[in-house]
Amino acid sequence: MFGREGVYNKLLICINHFDSIHFNSGYFSGMKIVLYGLLLMPLTLIAQRLWVNKDSAFGPLPKGLHVYYSDAALDGQPFRAYYVRGQLKEKNLQFDTDSTTNRRLTPQQFYERNNQPFVVVNGTFFSFTSNKNLNTLIKGGKILAHDEHIRALKGTDTLLYHKHLASAIGITKRRKADVAWVYNGQRSKHVVAFQNGPEQRTDSINNVSLYTFAPEMHHLPKTEKRRGIQAKWRVQTAIGGGPVLLHDGAIRITNNEEGKFVGKAINDKHPRTAMGYTADGNLIILVVEGRNPSAGGASLLQLAQLMKELGCVEALNLDGGGSTCLLINGKETVKPSDKEGQRPVPGVFLIRIRN
């Protein structure tokens, strides 16, 4: 089992085994002391992956921005990944998004279109037929793209509709990051953030609104505030995807609630893109290579554990698979899994020098 939880559980099993033997020899007593010592160690040291700084391979980089690489095996399988760490309080860094209308561009084309920013990474899910973003995208406080909050069920439930919140990561004017479950319907003028958990409904009505998830907001907005709902999510920059991976420092994968990678699909391994932030104010962007012999991708649980080990307190999954692509100074990090190379996407997240 991968991750600190697995190590912790194995140590407890060993200790309980020694307790059941009832020997008082110095050997067994000594072994128990060693195991308890390991149990009390910071588990990040036990399960910590080796990440190598790669600034020099992608430089020059501005103050507060760093890039790291790892190819240490993941659960015994080939693994390749890069992550970017950007200091949110570093005022020379600008965290931004960009989007197209009714068309898609490769990350390289977004790089050229945006005057060669330091970081370009894919983000939102999208429709291949309409080239439309299917998740929240905010630039300069303005909503560029909305979420899809309803989907028709299949099989014996053909007459029912699953209504769900989506998730997004946003950055405020004060350069604080936040991951939340959000309502941002097609006619929304602002985004409503649900901080405590994702709301969902299943019924036979083929429409959805904010009041589907927060009916009290009609008359009792203070009740909604107590439930951890922000009537207006005050972020300047945001990009959505899903599901949430970490919430309040703990692994919490809300794939079923958000209607993404439901059921056993949570265990499927694919190329991945994830974003989160640390308690000390660093934005983390992680991409995992997959679908080739030298890199097997990651499951959502593995992705959550990786983000936690990088120090994130909140994080979410973004569009992955053939869309996963991270450019640093215009150079590719992981190899895109599509045979054609970089997949065109309608929306990206950027880091550049502040104007």
Q: Cβ contacts of residue 277 below 8 Å, gap of 6+?
A: 88, 169, 177, 179, 283, 284, 312, 313, 314, 315
pLDDT recorded at residue 43: 39
Q: Say if strands 192-194 and 282-288 run parallel, antiparallel, or are unpaired.
A: unpaired
Query: For residues 246 and 242, what is the distance between their CA atoms, to the nearest angstrom?
Result: 11
pLDDT recorded at residue 15: 40
Burial-class residue 120 by CB neighbours within 10 Å (0-12, 13-18, 19+): buried
pLDDT recorded at residue 155: 79
Per-domain residue ranges of the chain:
1-48, 50-353
pTM tops 0.75, yes or no: yes
pLDDT recorded at residue 11: 44
Q: Cβ contacts of residue 225 below 8 Å, gap of 6+?
A: 231
Task: Tell me the backbone φ, ψ of residue 74, rounded to 5 degrees.
Answer: -115, 115
Please list the rounded mean pLDDT of every run of 10 residues in the chain (355 residues). 43 43 44 46 54 96 98 95 98 97 96 98 96 97 96 84 96 98 94 94 92 78 72 96 98 96 96 98 98 96 98 98 98 97 98 91
pLDDT recorded at residue 300: 98
Dihedral sign from CA coordinates of 265, 266, 270, 272: positive
pLDDT recorded at residue 342: 98
Please give the single-letter amino acid code of residue 241.
Answer: G
